[in-house]
Amino acid sequence: MAKREYIQRHLLIIKRLKSTPSTFDELLNYLLIQQEITGDNFDISQRTFQRDIKEIDSIYGIEIKHNKKEGWYEISDEIEEKPFERIIEAFETLSALNFSNQVSTKLLLEKRANKGTEHMHGLLYAIENNLEIIIKHQSYWKEEPELRKLQPIAIKESNNRWYLICFDTVKKELRNFGLDRVQHLEITTLKFKPIPYNATAYYQHAFGIETYAPVTKIVLNFNLFQAQYIKSLPLHLSQKVVFEDATNTKFEYFMHPTNDFIMEIMKYGENVIVEEPFELRETVKNRIVTMLSLYQ
């Protein structure tokens, strides 16, 4: 069986059990329906399914247990939603790209610059093993690239870019570097003590990579048209609807009102009004006035 079918079968099993516990026959029926859609071969035996269970645990860290009382299989622990959704999205995109040679005029892709993902595997290895790294980094503000000696902590995605979160051993401070500007990566053999830093907690209220502004409540008022898009693709995990009528929807957020977020607000133009906090409202208003003056 092709490796693509093998991986896709794993993801389909996880997807099914994530939504509802199922017996083997129910799972097999689900796989056969998907087989009709994709054209792949998902017809498996009980023995193959038992092997899949072990491999899903080993590869994805997702444990599938057999509930003998109910006679069904179920995922024992809750799966964190977003990371698994991204795995599914990445694989489905890869499958589409593999198929795209046959339908090149039907699948239109944006042309993107280098994102630095070629360094990701090495960086994750260094993070996992607490190994110092040396990178050659090209800043936007300097003509020549600089060598940086770093202790890597985590990798974060923001606005279709990837960033390395790390401790700079020379400047003695936490920094982040865009992977798209890393020209060279060297993984040293010098180990460092794990840094007591929770990147997930640190960035939980961030929009993007900036966190310099204090966390605050933000209320945005979108018109009916734009609100539908904001509901389907939230600006932040803290987003919640606090008011809605026939013409407007107010969304509340709890986050850092940084420049990244201000730029995001401004791209919606006349479709949004900042209601809270006052300081953010004034900042956006002043930028609009400045922009208007450029066209006088």
The conformation of residue 22, written as its DSSP 8-state character, comes to B
Which CATH code fits 3-99?
A: 1.10.10.10
Average pLDDT over residues 256-275: 95
In 50-141, beta strands by DSSP E: 64-67, 72-75, 131-137
Residue 87 has pLDDT above 60, yes or no: yes
The pTM (predicted TM-score) of the whole model is 0.72
pLDDT at 96: 63
CB–CB of 222/274 below 8 Å?
A: no
Q: How far is Cα 189 from Cα 119, in angstroms, rounded to an integer?
A: 17
Residue 84 has pLDDT above 70, yes or no: no
Specify the higher pLDDT residue, 62 or 203: 203
Band of pLDDT at residue 225, cut at 50, 70 and 90: very high
Look at residues 85, 71, 101, 107 and name the one whose alpha carbon lies nearest to residue 18.
Answer: 85
Residue 226 has pLDDT above 80, yes or no: yes
CATH class of 117-202: mainly beta
Give residue for tokens 């990579």: 209
pLDDT at 113: 66
First to last CA, the chain: 65
Residue 223 has pLDDT above 90, yes or no: yes
pLDDT at 99: 57
Q: How far is Cα 181 from Cα 196, in angstroms, rounded to an integer?
A: 27
Q: How far is CA 172 from CA 150, 191, 282, in A?
A: 10, 17, 36
Average pLDDT over residues 181-197: 92
CATH class of 216-293: alpha beta
The conformation of residue 207, written as its DSSP 8-state character, comes to S
Average pLDDT over residues 214-218: 97
Q: Which of 62-71, 222-231, 246-255 has the lowest mean pLDDT?
A: 62-71
Instruction: Spell out the domain ranges in the chain.
Output: 3-99, 117-202, 216-293
Band of pLDDT at residue 104, cut at 50, 70 and 90: low
Q: What are phi and psi of 157, to 5 degrees?
A: -95, 140
Is residue 255 helix, strand or coil? strand
In 100-233, alpha helices (H): 120-129, 199-202, 224-232
pLDDT at 143: 86
The token pair at 127 is 């993070």
The token pair at 205 is 């209220």
Residue 202 has pLDDT above 80, yes or no: yes
Q: How far is Cα 235 from Cα 218, in angstroms, rounded to an integer?
A: 12
pLDDT tens digit sequence for 1-38: 466 677 888 888 888 888 889 999 999 998 888 877 77
Helix, strand and coil content of the chain, in percent to the nearest 5, comes to 40, 25, 30
Q: What are phi and psi of 244, to 5 degrees?
A: -155, 135
Q: For the chain, give the mean pLDDT.
A: 87
pLDDT tens digit sequence for 107-165: 666 776 667 788 888 999 999 999 999 999 998 888 888 999 999 999 998 888 899 99
The strand pair at 72-75 and 131-137 is best described as unpaired
